[in-house]
Every structure is written in structure tokens, then in C-alpha cells.
């Protein structure tokens, strides 16, 4: 039996995707949300007419996991028309270097066979290969071509129970994939079955965005339709334990924006029940987040209008992914803010899904004399700040949405 692929995945079940509980509270609900990571529109008309979906974000009262209710995996295909992730920020690159070396050294991967599931363009796997790892990439999307160009052995396929038995990996790497799965527990159970049935004990090394910080800072634009799950450190552990894995290590990284986990298959399942006090705290914070989410859009639009009334030229930095999510959730339409900037040359000339602004290069900031830049993706804000100040030499005032408020990006702002 193969694990379901994203193309074949069912709709999200009503129960928590990590622990199975039916008790949850709503964090937020947004209607008419476009895809912001896949299928980047190439014209304004296409952008404005992008298909939209209802985004119903729940938080489990039992384990704190945050997930979408009613996600339909049939609407999201990673095989075609993928929006490539741009990871050239110097801070992100340094973090990946450190993570590759840490995993290589701590888990003694020299000469071992490592499979990366959802390898993307193979950038991370190349790091392991250069350290002395026997690498295999599984990438069903168009990025498989980039893996091949990097000299990686690549399978243009999904990875599941049968592939574990045939590849016999010493370790499985899976970074920024599990949050996209409609049923992540089924995926992990299938891999465990494949390992146990073939008498293997592969190490599973995983990484996902860490939602703890976004919840603490009352950020709403971390919620993308393509991201079905939003893991806390606790719920990431719970997911693996409930799926039959022994968790060896859980850590946060990259400014506490991501969480990594190491695990091995466990022969017998065991469940964990959090204390009642934790469940009460989760429910209270869910209410606080929901109330804050309702007013963020109004506050941001009002602030943009105030800047413009002062005669200041405003630009938004980040036109896809989290940037597109913030722009759509907060109603930053083309008639309100027309100037959207993105560092990625592949995205320049395309249009923001949903609102339709043409995505321009950083050079447009000089052309238009930008006074204020709102950085729309908080977890890459420091990398973007470095590019704006140190690489481009721009002097515009920089802002982010921090803890539900528009804040000046200063050196002491604890993002």
C-alpha cells in the first residue's frame, strides 16, 4: 500500500491532523483566498481571476496543532506550474549550511544512503553530498530538472511504503513538505510500515515552519491555503509519536521560525495526553489570536493610507507565498498599493495572486523614490533588510507586522 500523494489526497478530516482530537477552536476564517505558492499568474487578468478558496484555520484544544478544516488536496498539484521557493537570503543559506553539517555529524551520515523526500531543486541535498553522503532525491515536481542538473540521482516520484523497501535508506530527509499534506499521519505511518516490514530502522530527519512564533506575534499571513498544517514544537512531536515513531530530538532554528525533528520507527504505538492546564492555555490563546486576526487588515490599510496622506511612497516587499497571503488577507489591493517588489528574478513581471499587482524588481524602488517598505514576510525580514540596506543601499523606512501591529523594523525588534 502506498501513502496518498498530494494529488490523490482526500480533504482534511475534521479531527486534528496530529493527535486525532475532535476538539478545536477557530483561529481565523478568510474567504476568497487564492493560492500563493503555486501557479504564479503571468498577467494581471489571470491574477485577479485566480481561483479562490475558503481558509478555515483551527487549533486543536488537546495538542495545540494548527490546521485547515476542509482543505482539498485535489485543488493543489505539485507536479506542474510550481512556484519555486527563493532561498538565496544570506541568513537562510548560512542556516542550511549549519543544519546539513549538524545532521551529518550528529547522526554519523558519512558514507550512508540518504533519501530526501520532496527535494525541491536539490540545494540542501547537494550540501549533504559534498559532505560525503550517498544521496537520492525524490521530487515529483518540475524542480526535478534542477536536481538532475546538480548531478543528483533523482526519482520523479512520490515516496512511500514501497520506496522505503526498495531504496533501503539509512536516513530520510523531509524538509518543508509535511505541512502541505492533507493527511501527514498517513504519510508517516506508510513509511514506518515500509521500514518495519523490510526490517529497517531508518532515521527520519524532518523540518517544517514553526507556528509557535507566529502565534506569539499574532501573525496572520503565515496561513496559506497550500499549508494544511502549522506545527508547534509539541504538535510536531505528537504527530510522529502518534504515527508510530520514537522521537529522538526536537529543536527550533532560523530565529525560531522552523522546527527540526529526528525520529526512528517504533515497533509499538503509544499515545500521549497533555495536561489539562496546557489545553486551557491553548484555548485561551486561540481566542486571543482570533480576535487579533479580525482587526489586522483594517489597521494595516489605515496605516498605508496615513503614509500616503503624508505624501510618502509605499512599496510592499514579497509578492508570493506569505507576502501574497498578507496582501490578500489585509485587502492591500492594487488601487491602494500598486508597487510590489520581490528579490526573485523568476517572479518579477508576474502578478500577485488575487490582487493583481505586477511584481517588480528592487530597482523599481529607486525609480519610484520609495519612502516606506512594508516587508510582508516576517520570517525572512532580516534577510530582506540586509538586501535592502547592504546590497541595494536603499534608505527607505522599513516596517513589518509584528504581534498584530505595524512596527518599524529596528535592530532591537525581537522578530
The answer on pLDDT for 76 being more than 90 is no
% pLDDT > 90, the chain: 58
H or E element that contains 57: strand 52-60
Matching CATH topology for 90-265 and 296-408? yes
Closest CA to 300 of 221, 383, 396: 221
The helix-helix angle for 123-131 and 90-106 (nearest 10°) equals 40
Give the span between the Cα atoms of 305 and 315, in whole angstroms.
Answer: 12
Give the span between the Cα atoms of 190 and 204, in whole angstroms.
Answer: 13
- Predicted model pTM: 0.76
Phi-psi region of 20 (alpha: psi -120 to 50; beta: other; left: phi over 0): left
Q: What is the pLDDT of residue 3?
A: 36
Q: Are 321 and 83 in contact (CB under 8 A)?
A: yes
Query: Based on the number of CB atoms within 10 Å of its own CB, is 151 exposed (0-12), middle (13-18) or buried (19 or more)?
Result: exposed
Of the pLDDT bands very low, low, confident and very high (cuts 50, 70, 90), residue 229 is very high
Average pLDDT over residues 302-310: 92
Query: Based on the number of CB atoms within 10 Å of its own CB, is 7 exposed (0-12), middle (13-18) or buried (19 or more)?
Result: middle
Q: Give me the chain's average pLDDT, please.
A: 87
Residue extents of the structural domains in the chain: 90-265, 296-408
Q: Map grid coordinates 503614509 to a residue.
A: 307
Superfamily of 296-408 according to CATH = NAD(P)-binding Rossmann-like Domain (3.40.50.720)
Q: Are 400 and 214 in contact (CB under 8 A)?
A: no
Best-predicted range by mean pLDDT (81-90, 141-150, 290-299): 141-150
Q: What is the pLDDT of residue 297?
A: 87
Q: What is the pLDDT of residue 286?
A: 83
The answer on pLDDT for 71 being more than 50 is yes
Of the pLDDT bands very low, low, confident and very high (cuts 50, 70, 90), residue 12 is low
* CA-to-CA dists, residue 156 to 73, 143, 149, angstroms: 19, 9, 14
* pLDDT tens string 121-149: 999 999 999 999 999 999 988 889 999 99
Of the pLDDT bands very low, low, confident and very high (cuts 50, 70, 90), residue 202 is very high
Q: Are 179 and 227 in contact (CB under 8 A)?
A: yes
CATH topology (fold) of 90-265: Rossmann fold (3.40.50)
Average pLDDT over residues 248-265: 96
Q: Coil, strand, or helix at residue 287?
A: helix
Average pLDDT over residues 47-75: 89
The answer on pLDDT for 311 being more than 50 is yes
Amino acid at each position: 500500500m502506498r501513502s496518498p500523494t498530494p494529488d490523490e489526497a482526500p480533504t482534511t478530516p475534521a479531527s486534528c491532523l496530529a493527535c486525532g482530537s475532535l476538539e478545536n477552536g477557530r483561529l481565523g476564517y478568510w474567504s476568497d483566498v487564492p493560492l500563493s505558492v503555486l501557479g504564479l499568474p503571468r498577467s494581471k487578468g489571470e491574477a485577479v481571476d485566480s481561483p479562490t478558496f475558503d481558509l478555515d484555520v483551527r487549533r486543536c484544544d488537546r495538542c495545540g496543532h494548527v490546521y485547515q478544516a476542509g482543505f482539498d488536496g485535489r485543488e493543489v498539484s505539485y507536479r506542474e506550474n510550481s512556484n519555486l521557493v527563493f532561498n538565496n537570503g544570506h541568513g537562510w543559506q548560512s542556516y542550511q549550511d549549519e543544519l546539513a553539517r549538524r545532521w551529518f555529524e550528529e547522526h554519523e551520515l558519512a558514507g550512508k544512503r540518504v533519501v530526501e523526500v520532496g527535494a525541491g531543486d536539490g540545494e540542501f541535498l547537494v550540501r549533504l553530498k559534498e559532505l560525503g553522503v550517498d544521496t537520492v532525491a525524490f521530487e515529483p515536481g518540475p524542480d526535478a530538472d534542477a536536481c538532475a542538473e546538480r548531478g543528483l540521482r533523482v526519482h520523479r516520484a512520490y515516496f512511500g511504503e514501497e520506496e522505503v523497501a526498495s531504496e533501503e535508506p539509512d536516513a530520510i530527509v523531509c524538509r518543508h513538505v509535511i505541512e502541505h499534506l492533507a493527511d501527514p499521519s498517513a504519510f508517516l505511518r506508510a513509511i514506518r510500515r515500509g521500514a518495519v516490514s523490510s526490517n529497517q530502522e531508518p532515521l527520519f530527519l524532518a523540518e517544517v515552519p514553526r507556528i509557535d512564533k507566529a502565534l506569539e506575534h499574532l501573525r496572520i499571513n503565515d496561513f496559506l491555503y497550500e499549508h494544511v498544517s502549522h506545527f508547534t514544537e509539541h504538535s510536531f512531536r505528537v504527530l510522529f509519536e502518534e504515527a508510530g515513531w520514537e522521537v529522538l530530538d526536537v529543536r527550533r532554528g532560523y530565529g525560531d521560525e522552523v522546527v527540526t525533528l529526528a525520529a526512528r520507527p517504533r515497533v509499538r504505538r503509544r499515545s500521549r495526553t497533555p495536561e489539562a492546564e496546557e489545553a486551557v492555555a491553548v484555548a485561551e490563546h486561540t481566542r486571543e489570536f482570533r480576535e487579533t486576526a479580525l482587526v489586522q487588515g483594517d489597521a494595516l490599510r489605515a496605516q498605508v493610507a496615513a503614509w500616503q496622506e503624508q505624501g510618502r511612497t509605499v512599496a510592499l516587499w514579497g509578492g508570493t507565498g506569505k507576502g501574497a497571503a498578507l496582501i490578500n488577507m489585509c485587502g492591500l489591493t492594487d488601487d491602494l498599493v500598486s508597487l510590489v517588489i520581490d528579490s526573485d528574478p523568476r517572479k518579477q513581471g508576474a502578478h500577485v495572486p488575487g490582487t493583481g499587482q505586477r511584481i517588480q524588481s528592487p530597482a523599481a524602488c529607486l525609480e519610484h523614490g520609495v519612502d516606506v517598505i512594508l516587508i510582508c514576510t516576517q520570517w525572512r525580514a532580516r534577510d530582506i533588510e540586509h538586501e535592502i540596506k547592504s546590497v541595494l543601499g536603499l534608505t527607505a523606512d522599513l516596517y513589518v507586522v509584528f504581534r498584530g501591529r505595524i512596527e518599524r523594523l529596528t535592530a532591537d525588534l525581537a522578530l
